[in-house]
Amino acid sequence: MTFRAPVRELAFAMKTAGFDAVLEKGYADTDFETVAAVLEAAGDLSNEVLAPLNRVGDTVGAKYANGRVTAAPGFAEAYKQFAQGGWTGLVAEPEFGGQGLPKAVELAVFEMVQSANMAFALCPMLSLASIEALTRHGTERQQKYVLPKLISGEWTGAMVLTEPQAGTDLAALTTVAKPDGEGGYRLYGQKIFITWGDHDMADNIVHLVIARTPDAPPGVKGISLFLTSQKLIDENGNLGARNDFRPISIEHKMGIHGSPTCVMHYDGAQAELVGELNNGLAHMFVMMNAARLEVGVQGVAIAERAFQQALAFSQERVQGKPLWSNGGTGIYGHPDVRRTLLLAKAKTEAARGICLMTGVVADLAKVAPTAEERAGALARQELLTPIAKAWSTDVGVEIASSALQVHGGMGYIEETGAAQYYRDARIPPIYEGTNGIQAIDLSGRKLKMTNGATMRELCAEILLTAEALTESAELAPVGRRLALGVQALEKATDWQLANQGPNSLLGATTYLKLAGDVIGGWFLARQALAADGADAPWLKAKASLARIFASQVLTQAPGLAEAVMEPLPEMAEIAPEALAG
């Protein structure tokens, strides 16, 4: 099935997310017509170049042999087009060769790229995280010679964190960086799960590696961040001989086969410090937080791709006699199939909205005119980031599964492609901090940073929208259910803040789902209000999607709040042998 980049949906969603305020407050020289042209160009690239390679990425995939990784057929040529188009440098600072556009634009562009070919998109996505880290913490040399090459796409970047014994618990890492006596370091150790850690698509690959020096303090306080280059970079920025690190294998994964996940071995690789010694954890989180939001966008992207195929299949597949004839003769006319697809569409748009709203406040945290506005935007960005990552990727899995279900028996036949989306979608909830970790971060850290004030301010805004909805007979039921959702979220928030510890962590995942449901419903309600009076069928449908989400999702909010607030002490008491059967 041919993929169609949702350009008009993204443009409308950006405006609904408040993007006009970003242009007004910080990008006076950029108008929305320019942004729309960027989206159109990204849509063309996604449709014509990247989407046709998605299948070969899955069926052939990346290959490893003799210490080298070869990208899937066609990927290297596509990457050259991607780099020449300047897509890696959309947000990067102009002084280093970037275009200086808002973050929300990058998120919209990369949603289309991820939808078209998620495995391919992971390569430049990790370059984005490396660019952000070096812009914030890079040395003068790194910003002069490395940063512009990453921004241009001539080189790519990789985040190198995980070890066999050190996943979430980075304090357990053992990779060591030994001073070389000349101001640099030599890296020794092994890292796993390194996405695009090696390939043949670019001239050079830069690894940002966390390690500890021999005399570093124990635990996370002894972690530092180092830059090591696949090819040595001389004092003039020229590339030289191969450095002393290499892949020793790539993982055989359930999905995203076109993205090589490397086991990397460092055997005295020349490296240089990034930022401050023993402050690598803070520097690493610059990369991690950038990547987490991009991974949330992956959830939206795979949901969009799976939904598009399922919708097309539902109009082509004839089974039984449809009860609703306005879907033609296909299974789209069966009530449960239509319910499945409409709910999938609503959740996809809700997830898109959460990610774009996070991008908008990230932009406002940089460009808002007053310190108070910037601080408020940053606090909301930090609150929304774990929700955007976890809720959106969970939605990606759910919709990929629903789309496969719509295909029936054809769904688990690999030739239809529906199974690939499900396999691909199941991975983002795990990497860049599992969704359970995101829930703990929201409940145990982000809420406490302002003692709940940021969430309460958000709830107050949502209630204003709920009140506005009551002025429309068509949307009043959405307003009532949205208000009940806010009440449930406020109750659960108060309970979480008052019960920090094991009980709050027990309810953290449910709390994050509740927050995502309410915020997602809010975005759909805003879209319905913005589309009120429109004649175009796709805009008129916004009210229907808001009502469907309110009916099928927001009605569950009070029950989710009860689940958050019920400690269930027996969970702490049940030993594993009691479950062994």
Active site residue ranges: 432
CA distance 58 to 73: 11
124 touches 205 (CB < 8 A): no
Token look-up 């879209």 returns 527
CA distance 430 to 424: 11
CA distance 222 to 388: 30
| Consecutive H or E run containing 473 | none
CA distance 321 to 309: 22
Main-chain dihedrals φ then ψ at residue 206, nearest 5 degrees: -105, 125
CA distance 359 to 90: 14
Residues in CB range of 471: below 8 A, 6 or more apart: none
| Consecutive H or E run containing 53 | none
List the beta bridge partners of residue 228.
Answer: 207
Residues in CB range of 456: below 8 A, 6 or more apart: 490, 493
Which letter, b or e, does each residue of 173-189 get, where b requires 16 or more Cβ atoms within 10 Å of its Cβ? bebbbeeeeeeebbbbb
Both tokens of 69, joined, read 């990784």
- Burial class for 166, CB neighbours closer than 10 Å (0-12, 13-18, 19+): middle
Both tokens of 142, joined, read 């790194």
206 touches 142 (CB < 8 A): no
Cα atoms in the 13 Å half-sphere on the side-chain side of 356: 30
Dihedral of CA atoms 389, 7, 349, 505 in degrees, nearest 10, equals 0
CA distance 513 to 570: 23
| Consecutive H or E run containing 575 | none
Helix (H/G/I), strand (E/B), else coil: 242:
strand
The closest alpha carbon to 213, from 190, 236, 183, 186, belongs to: 186
Both tokens of 564, joined, read 């958050």
Count of beta carbons in the 10 Å neighbourhood of residue 540: 14
Length of the chain: 581
Q: Is 60 left (phi over 0), alpha (psi -120 to 50) or beta?
A: alpha
